[in-house]
Amino acid sequence: MTARVDPLGARARSDAAGGVLAGILLSVAFLPLPRPAALLVLVALVPLWRVLFRIGEPRRGAEIGAVFGVTFWALQLAWVPLVAIRTGESWPWMAWAGQVALLGLLGAAMGGGFVLVRRRRVPAPAAAVIAWVGVEWARGHLLGPLSFPWSGVAVPLARIPVLVQPAAWGGEALLAGGVIAVNAAFAQAAVRERRRGEETGWRRAGLFSLALISLWVGFGLARLRLLDDYQPRARAVVVQPAVPLAGKRGPLAQELALRSLHWGLAEATALMEEGPSLVVFPETHLPFAFQGDGRAAGAGPDQEERFVEEGGRGVAPWPWELTAEIQGWASLHDASVLVGAYRRDDRGLYNALLHLGPEGVVGFYDKVALVPGVERGPGGLVPGGRPGLLTAQGRPGVLICIESAWATLGRGLARGGAGWLLNVTNDAWLGEEVDGVGVTSPAFYQHPWHLILRSVETGRGAVRVANNGLTGTVDPVGRWNRVLAPHQAGAAVVLVGGLDSDPVFLRGGHRLGLLVFLLLVLGPIVRRPYPS
């Protein structure tokens, strides 16, 4: 009996395999491997584009894009269900499944959008850039509270300073366009060679990619050489308490927080001779809700119980004596203290960074971009409504936790007058020390890469203060310097600076992502399609 041949089914499986392989390869590029591994992003998507270049139906393009999207994001966000295993809670599983499903749909939009643009006589590499960059920009800007700019395709290049410099002109969107252009050139050559036996396909792709990468590297080297010197903006003490995740959420959270606050101020006192006038603690270091002038938000136990139950975060009223204690320390040393805590008003509870000085509470910043499913949701936190500009030394612009992934937030702070960027975060979710062994997810190392892009885009140096690490600085051209070992308590003095002139990105280069998105939307309309 002759076996039945199903060429259409075989082709469909082959196409799906291309999407899966591209998702795996791109995930590997995001792993904290030696720096050269970041270059994998320049070829990781070749299997995906080889498949999409052969497809003429938007529906099939959307299917392959969805396969790629689900594969990549299921691997890239694998640390989320690991939180469920560590904490015994079920919500991380639901958050992970929801995020992967939504991002898989965006992958479908990319694949289908590429086919639509390609059918309008747009060259395949250009159509690839338009589809990818357009959807990636929309993912970070147009989904409202579900916007998620984490892990753009160019983010791994932040580890190689010479390759990240074009972000000063066109931001992360320009870097992403370069990455996709190189991938698409190789993919198109492979498809042509297979279809028509052209021996010059790889040669053309190689010449195009070599020219693009040479221009890329040349620009980066020139910019690094020209901007090697920059102006100091602030000197600060950064405190890394290394409070374990269980300690930040358990019944002893308030006691541990106060104990580590006193320890941190004592460590800062020993470092004041080096000239800093600012001490920075990480995100949500104090599980207290500040309100009004810092006195307890209500005098009775009923009010306190309501705070403790709110959002399941173990948040208690702000003790009035704590303000007086920090104020006294700041007066003695003529310094300011920035500490992560909560803030409450009639709208609800905020994730905040408080600025305390000799005068008491000077100001605060409420986190604007909340993490979907974690901070935002029923019984969750309330988003803030104003930029994070504080009056501390050098006028820092504050980005709390994942806000460092938003290019719009960094640009807004720089345009508003920020002299440097400050990213405070609690990465105990992403990695900590368990029984003397560091247990970390790839996201633990990926998080600082986003801040490097923000520094290059804005020309502002940055300081990153994390509960468990990585704590360090970024200079205005994107060179990272870790100052404290991960998962270990410590304090250190850091110096942060900025460039004398603003990068092109601040003067209009931020519009590149919007332009590419408009090309994605209008491309299928403005040109006559190929004959069917």
Structural domains of the chain in order of their starting residue, each with its CATH number: 7-227+511-526 (no CATH), 231-498 (3.60.110.10)
pLDDT tens across the length of the chain (532 residues): 455 545 557 778 888 999 999 999 999 999 999 999 999 999 999 999 999 998 889 999 999 999 999 999 999 998 888 776 766 777 778 888 989 999 999 999 999 999 999 888 888 888 999 999 999 999 999 988 889 999 999 999 999 999 999 999 999 999 999 999 999 988 887 776 555 555 555 677 777 878 888 999 999 999 998 887 788 899 999 999 998 877 777 668 888 999 999 999 999 999 998 888 999 999 999 999 998 644 433 333 343 444 444 444 668 888 888 999 999 999 999 999 999 999 998 888 999 999 999 998 999 999 999 987 778 766 679 999 888 999 999 999 999 999 999 999 999 999 999 999 999 999 887 877 766 666 788 999 999 999 999 999 999 999 999 999 899 999 999 999 999 999 999 999 999 999 988 999 998 877 888 888 888 887 666 655 555 4
Do β-strands 231-240 and 462-466 pair in parallel, antiparallel, or remain unpaired?
unpaired
Tell whether pTM > 0.85.
Answer: yes
- What does the alpha-carbon distance between residue 121 and residue 173 come to, in Å, rounded to a whole number? 23
pLDDT in the model for residue 38: 95
The torsion region of residue 148 among left (phi > 0), alpha (psi -120 to 50) and beta comes to beta
DSSP β-ladder status, 490-498 and 462-466: unpaired
- For the stretch 522-526, contacts whose Cβ atoms lie closer than 8 Å and that sit 24 or more positions apart, written own/partner, are 523/116, 523/117, 523/120, 523/122, 523/127, 523/130, 524/116, 524/117, 524/119, 524/120, 525/120, 526/120
Half-sphere exposure (CA, 13 Å, Cβ side) for 260?
A: 29
The CA angle 232-236-241, to the nearest 5 degrees, is 145
Q: What is the DSSP string of 421-484?
A: EEEEE-GGGTEEEETTEEEE-HHHHHHHHHHHHHHHHHTB-EEEEESSS-EEEE-TT--EEEEE
pLDDT in tens, 166-185: 999 999 999 999 999 999 98
b/e 257-276 (16+ beta carbons within 10 angstroms → b): bbebbeebbebbbebbeeeb
Say what the pLDDT of residue 81 is. 82
User: Among all chains, which residue has been given the structure tokens 């009004």?
Assistant: 292
What tokens were used for 237? 């003490």
Say whether the peptide bond before residue 470 is cis (omega within 30 degrees of 0). yes
Query: Pick from 531, 532, 520: which is nearest to 116 by CA?
Result: 520
Q: Is residue 531 helix, strand or coil?
A: coil
Tell me the pairing of strands 360-366 and 348-357: antiparallel
Pairing state of beta strands 471-474 and 462-466? antiparallel
Burial 312-333 (b: 16+ CB within 10 A, else e): ebbbbbbbeebbebbbebbeeb
